[in-house]
Amino acid sequence: MKHLLSAKDLSREQAVLILDMAEQMAATQARQVKKLPTLRGLIVVNLFFEDSTRTRISFETAAKRLSADVINFSPKGSSVSKGESLKDTVLTLGAMHTDAIVVRHYASGAPYTIAHSGWTDASVINAGDGTHQHPTQSLLDAMTMRRHLMGPNPLGQGLDGVNVVIVGDVLHSRVARSGVDLFTTLGAKVTLVAPATLLPVGVETWNCDVSYNLDQALAEVKPDALMMLRVQKERMSAGGGGFFPSPQEYTREYGLDEPRLAALPKRTIVMHPGPMNRGLEITSGAADGLRSVIVEQVANGVAVRMAVLYLTMTGAEGGEA
């Protein structure tokens, strides 16, 4: 696979291959010497037009663990602040023989444009584009679910029979979109829960159920995995833009708190892609509690990104994902 642009492009076989490869990569990270020579001599550029902590550091760690050279680009301090276009930025990287471009951009579709523009021969990996897709996030989420929910040997498996409930700001969430695509490809059933104002137009055509009532959805679905989404204030106009009446009301209707946590089945894992608004969509008790796998999600992110960089940059498996 040359690029990873969307979770939608992955077949079940490709997704399972990436997850299995990520398990192999994770095993190497338990060794004392964690660095592999696999991508020695190759250059990975992190091209991040939007803020990021964990995704950027995770890609950087993954690339370095595979011995690639990593260049971090952020528009602040670059010629982008002088008005240089995406095209000229990518042409410049292409002229420097960059082997992979990991791109996060506020415009949905930017990674696709870079991959198919002819501006560069590099592999393009989408690290989040607008409200559209974030495929490596859904892969790390699937890896985390598979480890917890699919028995002692997850290798070769999808997520058959797993019930996933995703709660919150679906409207602005590329995590939710990628998650619905990937988890259902892997055999899971997904239910989205949100106020009507935070659901996108056309959500009824997505391959999932939709509910406006969290308590009812939790009681009916009895989720194996409960994923809380961040309320993405930066994508709302100042003051919340009328998406919900008040933070208190949002928390009361859609927040994960101790009573809701206590009512979940014993096996349910609690997930969040980060960064969290503690006290808004999730309480600290839920975020740090025994069922929380939020820190594991971050650790699995490195293994998944090692697998994706390896598979795209070495062309280890045919076709474009």
Q: How many residues bind ligand NCD (CB under 6 A)?
A: 11
Cβ proximity to ligand NCD: between 38 and 46 the closer is 46
What mask, x for binding ligand NCD by CB under 6 A, covers residues 45 to 64? Answer: ---------xx---------
Per CB under 6 A, 174 contacts ligand NCD: yes
Q: If you write DSSP's letter for every residue of 1-69 in order, what string do you get? A: ---B--GGG--HHHHHHHHHHHHHHHHHTTSSS----TTTT-EEEEEESS--SHHHHHHHHHHHHTT-E
Cβ proximity to ligand NCD: between 54 and 222 the closer is 54
Per CB under 6 A, 2 contacts ligand NCD: no
From 211, 203, 193, 189, select the one nearest 145 (Cα to Cα): 189
Rg (CA), the chain: 19
What mask, x for binding ligand NCD by CB under 6 A, covers residues 219 to 238? Answer: -----------x-x------
Smallest gap from residue 128 Cβ to ligand NCD (A):
5
Residues 133-152 that bind ligand NCD (CB under 6 A): 134, 137
Smallest gap from residue 130 Cβ to ligand NCD (A):
10
CA-to-CA separations, 11 to 7, 56, 217, 306, in angstroms, rounded: 9, 26, 29, 19
**Measured at CB, which residue is nearest to ligand NCD?**
230
What is the length of the chain?
321
Smallest gap from residue 316 Cβ to ligand NCD (A):
25
Q: Which two tokens stand for residue 141?
A: 């989420």
Distance of alpha carbon 230 from alpha carbon 280, whole angstroms: 9
Smallest gap from residue 222 Cβ to ligand NCD (A):
26
Q: Which two tokens stand for residue 164?
A: 């996933």
**Residue at 206: amino acid letter:** W
Alpha helix ranges (H) inside 12-53: 12-28
Smallest gap from residue 174 Cβ to ligand NCD (A):
5
Cβ proximity to ligand NCD: between 48 and 310 the closer is 48
Smallest gap from residue 129 Cβ to ligand NCD (A):
9
Q: If you write DSSP's letter for every residue of 87-147 in order, what string do you get? A: HHHHHHHHHTT-SEEEEEESSTTHHHHHHHSSS--SEEEEEEETTTB-HHHHHHHHHHHHH
Q: Specify whether the CB–CB gap between 230 and 169 falls below 8 A.
A: yes
Per CB under 6 A, 312 contacts ligand NCD: no
**Residue at 43: amino acid letter:** I
Cβ proximity to ligand NCD: between 99 and 169 the closer is 169
Residues 259-288 that bind ligand NCD (CB under 6 A): 273-274
Smallest gap from residue 118 Cβ to ligand NCD (A):
28
Per CB under 6 A, 128 contacts ligand NCD: yes
Question: Which parts of this chain interact with ligand NCD (CB under 6 A)?
Answer: 54-55, 128, 134, 137, 174-175, 230, 232, 273-274
